[in-house]
Structure 1
Amino acid sequence: MSIALTALAILRQFMFVRENTRGRAKLTELQERIEGICSASADGIAVADFDGNLLEVNDAFIKLMGYELEELTSGFKALDLFSSHDREATLEVNKRVMTEQAAVDYEKEYVRKDGTVFTAHVTAFPVRSRQGAPAAIAAIVRDITGRKRSETMLREAEERWLLALRVNRDGVWDWDLRNKTFFFSPRWREMFGYSESEELHFTMATLENLFHPDDRHLARETRIALMDVESPYIDVEFRHKCKDDSYRWIRCRAESVINKATGRLERVIGLHTDISDKKQRELESEALGQILRGVTETANLDELLSLVHVAIGSVVHARNYFVALHDEDTDLFTMQFFVDEHDERPDSANLEGTRSDYVYRTGRALLLDEKKTAELEAEGKFRLVGAQPKYWLGVPLKTPNKIIGVLVVQSYDIEHSYSDDNLQFLNNVAGPIALSIERKRAESRTLLLNAALDAAANGILITDGSGSIEWSNRAFTTLTGYTADEVKGKNSQILESGKHDDEFYADMWRTITAGNPWMGELTNRRKSGELYEEEMTITPVFDEASGTNHFISIKSDITERKLAEEQLRIFNHKLQLSNRELQDFAFVASHDLQEPLRKVQTFADRLSTKYSGALDETGLDYLERMRNAAGRMQTLIQDLLSFSRVTTQAQPFMPVNVEEITKGVLSDLEVKIEETGATVEMRGLPVIDADPSQIRQLVQNLVGNALKFRRDGVAPIVKISAEPRENGNGGAYEITVEDNGIGFDEKYLDKIFTVFQRLHGRAEYEGSGIGLAVCRKIVERHNGTITAISAPGSGAKFKFTLPTHQSNAELN
């Protein structure tokens, strides 16, 4: 602009001189000087009249346009030098110059004589006469083609740079420590959540806060590396803090400029590459690998969950972490693994209705901050327990079949927040963790089962589908003499004794290959060659996963039992013979004794009738004693006959209405009931399979005793009732005969059901002491039980239980 202004002043002076040079020789020297200046100017100068005719041009203008002087100053129109599309705009500029009477700067394209085009910077201004009137329009023209080309190249380079910054997925940053300025590319700002308009300023101290707390040691190492004069370059991966306090994994490559004279760091330029997805995949893959390897590398579930804690902690903040497993039987949680900075391990019941319970019940992962936690608690979704974290993340542990529990991480500080990526990661690993837990549980159960089987008292043998032995326990070794290693891989036929024919084993094989268990007794041979008796159960087991059959044999040595059974059979046979002989003896003896007894009673009656007058008082006393003794003897013989008839005259079982039987008994005892003023009640007496005559005798004996053993001055009350009972074989009834009589001490309970056992003298109560023994014998014959509940002076309850149905062999 200074050149243009200088030229403008010269032109004005030039026009003034030209107007006054005619006839004025003294101005010639000044005119020559001005013309010399214009001629020497590097910028083209031209003057045109108002019609656009060129009046004056300098050498630079002539050279610029490529015309001769005569061509330009012989009626040449200035507009012909412009590109056609610039002519209208040039006329408008000229109008402005004349109207405003001021200089105007603009850029236009000129066309040379040879047709080439160039861009020029033009300063147009009015030229006035001495009187100040507009005389012409002057223009100073400077060729700026080179400058425009440089500007274009620079603009294009800038556009390419900006485009590269936009397209490149790396964030570029430039820190000028000398001028304390920062540059961050749009991508860098996008990566960390900053807008284009935000001013960002950092220092060495605040830059360290951009590193994740667990990575801040890298910040110090990075600063040291950038100060290395020989190799001021870094390439490091760390978690970079975003504007919203979340973190992204980045790879930082940077190089510093160090003033070697002063050793001061002057500038650092770097690239940040977002490797969050890549790093997340790497960490997740490594964590998942650790978890899967943990199934085989850990000894128990606690070790597995500890390893899972470490694996998860490599991806997300897991300083506060727990795994709660659900117990389907109790519907409670077991806190299987728990670490926390503030809380103690909670008990199982304390998780009911909590966030963990909510995740388990809904089957959905849950990511919470303090605000979301408050909202859901207010809605009644869950209740809060313990210290409250700022961030909480829980996922359900799902197998293909069910949800087994929840896994939870939580953070008590704002620097360790959780993101949707963290939730997705835990969701991804929750399934493998659940399967690993189930597998480890299954292993524990298998170990426990193996230990239990190995410690079992019975010999256990597991074979494949062909009978080849795969496993045996210690009891098998004790039973057979073979160790587990000796029989493994061998066929179970090594135990055969030769005592059973082929059909015996064929039947066994047909049964188990059809999928049915086989149970039986057989004779086998020990390793020593000794034979032994064995009770064995073989159960076929089909493994759906491998599609193979296995057989599990459970063996018991019954050699001693078989010997004992044989001895018992012989003893029972002898006992039955003895009992039969005893019963026969009792029956015969009772019949044979009755004949001489009747003669004694007959002659005693005759003595009393015919000779009582011949006897003194002593003789009559003796006669009465003889008659009483004979009566007691007859009662005893009759009771012995009743006792023996329970077995010798037993009838087949048939449906018996106990209520009808009881009514018949009460009819027979009607006189006794009236004499004693007794009250008898009946309730719910059933129909059962029984011997009707024996049931009648049973009820009569018990009711008769209730009437006999009454308290003085107290009318007997007898209650007969029945209640159903479960016996695992079609049911039973417990029948109770209750009275309000004298009762007895229960220490004599066993004694009262024994033959000839009495608790009272004959002078107090009549009877032989056989009645309750007959009752017990009848009940036992009916496969039942009888007992009594009593106390002296408090009455007695006699309870007998009889099956509702008897076996077919005993029914009529």
Structure 2
Amino acid sequence: MSNIELNLLNYMVLLLQLYQRFQIIKYIISKVHIINKEQPQILDRPIPNEPASIMNGSLSYSLLGYVMYNLDFKTGKYIFMSPSVNLLTGYSKNEINEIGFKSIVKKVYSNKIDRYRVNGDTNYNVEEFYGKYLIETKSGNKKWIEDNSFAYLDKNGDHLNAIGILRDTSSLNTFIDKLNEEKNNLDKIFDLSDTMLIQIDKDLNIIMINKKGCRIFGGDKREIIGKNLYEFIPKHFQSNFKRYIEELINGEEALTRSTVGKLKTFDNKIKVIEWHNTLLRDENGELISIIASGQEITERRKEEKIRKIISEILDEANSGKHLYEVFKFIHKSISKLMKAENFYIAYHNREQNLLTFPYCVDKYDDDTPPQKLGKGLTEYVLRTGKSVLVDKKKDNELIQKGETDLVGEQSEIWLGVPLKIQDKVIGVLVVQDYDDASTYTETEQQILDVVAYPISRAIERKIVDTEREELIIQLKELNASKDQLFSLISHDLRNPFNSLLGFSDIIISEFDSLTKEEIKEYNNVINNSAKNLYGMTNNLLHYSRFQLGKYEYKPKAMDIEVSFRIVLETQKDNIKKKDIILIKEIDQNVLVFADEILMNIALSNIVENAIKYTNEGGIVKIFVEKIGTDESGKNSVKIIIVDEGVGIPEENLVKIESKEMFSTAGTMREFGIGLGLFLSRDFITVNKGKLQIKSEEGKGTTVTIDLPGA
């Protein structure tokens, strides 16, 4: 408890003590020396001229400022007035009778009359009178006096005789005015306080509250004072509250006792209050009231909760868990702050211009596939980069303006906030309620705006970690490919070089002894080896440029029949050498949309492999045809290359699927480094095509290529 709060609490206790003393004094003054209604026979007693036994006989009327009188209503004259009338008014009894008492009364503050019978006497009634006047004395001074009297009335109700007491109350009024002024000043101080101050009696009835307290309760003083504090305690907290009050009242005495509890306001909101309580007891130790100061800490608690959740989310992002598990944890964390039964995170895949949903929990649809960007509310947040709270009315307004389209089931309330990384919107976090429009308000919107940044950071960190892991895998695969490539190069390049070096050495060293036919044969071997080396070198260059990302992809409409004509022209020597039977069924004017250089390399490698692994006199077939339109309305082209060669063993098919490079010699010991099929698959994929291989060892291989038409 702060020093300021403690000082305020002590000041409040002082005020209440003064206030209670003030009430007691007023009560005593209102009752003292009023003649008992049950003893009207005092009218029959003589009025004493000597000091009377007032207040246990210790003081005289004059010393107390009292004036006893007896008034005859028939004559309007005072039969008797005690001598102290001169001290009170400056006039004697005779002077009062001469000028009339009413002439010195300048203001009547109040008067009250009660009538009742005296001892059952039917002929007389008694009238009790109380008045308060401002009089002007003979010397011109102003005084406040009280008039307490009672009189007999005859059976017609006419006044007969009155006996009363006049009393000077000027000094008391001054004291009371000062006390009231002090009380009002203290009330103003309390009302200016930013801390709730409240007083409750022993039965927990509220008897005082300041303006701050009224604001926290959500009502005014007239509504709050008189109500029981128990009415403002939430049901689930009432047992704890009751136990705390019992411990506070019956426990060990302390200057203040503090606690934190919940309060239900007039508009049924739940607020968290930090209380500091002090007990007021009488001289016998009996409880008079409880004085309490209270500070609303709802927002502070909420901020602490949000900070804790943000910290937990960031810690979770640093864990080694999968991204989906992090999203699941974020969902659970948001559920601690608000209702989140329908919750999803949408991610904008900019490369494919798709909206993906890596995490989605929904009443109607948990499984949301990737979709092209449209005009839903999610895309609206992506476009504007601002959070938005949308009820049905606003949803319909956005639809009418053409800003959005209705996608899926319409919610009663929809709340979406952008997820940003370096001012770039990467996605949207959404909560929605299909049944209750009051579930989300600007408060929930502000909360999500606050937590969106750390969630974005968490997602960014996890994406970076995922990309790093994928990059590590790619690097490992590249290293493995590089090792395989170097192994293949070191092994397979030796064969053509050995042929080149061996036969060239023979020609050089034995040229004079060789026949023309032998020289021609050796030259053919050298030529074939050079061609193989050239083809291998070309594949290596294409592979390196492609891997380094230095190739500029330029797709265009190309005639596939022309491409096959170029490819078959480069392979005519191999076809002739192996006596291959080539069957072509290629539709005329078949256009594909692809990069011509990449497609020619891919087709050349596939046709070369078909020839290489086909026995002498074998058959190679090439089919090209247009097929039906796809979803976008464009034609597609199917290319099928079939050979009746040796086929591919099962273990090598597995290697192809796993992109593992390997090489095998052809049916006539043709060389290769295993890059051809590897490059063909990648180049066809780049051209948005698909490649499938079916093979059976000993029976041949079928390669099917699907490409987008132009």
Give TM-score scaled by structure 1 length: 0.44
Higher relative contact order (CA 8 A, sep 6+): 2
Tell me the TM-score normalized by structure 2. 0.49
